[in-house]
Amino acid sequence: MAGMSKKIKKNDSVIVITGKDKGRRGKVLFIDSQKGRVVVEGVNKKKKFVRPSQEAPKGGVITLEYPINISNVMLFCEKCKKGVRVGFDVKDDKKVRKCKKCNKEI
Domains in the chain: boundaries: 13-78
The CATH class given to the 13-78 domain equals mainly beta
* Radius of gyration for the alpha carbons in the chain, expressed in angstroms and rounded: 17
Chain segment 9-42, per-residue pLDDT in tens:
999 999 999 999 999 999 999 999 899 999 999 9
Longest dimension (CA), the chain: 55
Contact 51, 59 (CB under 8 A): yes
Q: 3-state class of 72 per DSSP? A: helix
Residue 5: per-residue pLDDT: 62
Instruction: Flag whether pLDDT at 2 surpasses 60.
Output: no
pTM of the model as a whole: 0.82
- In the predicted model, what is the mean pLDDT of residues 38-51? 95
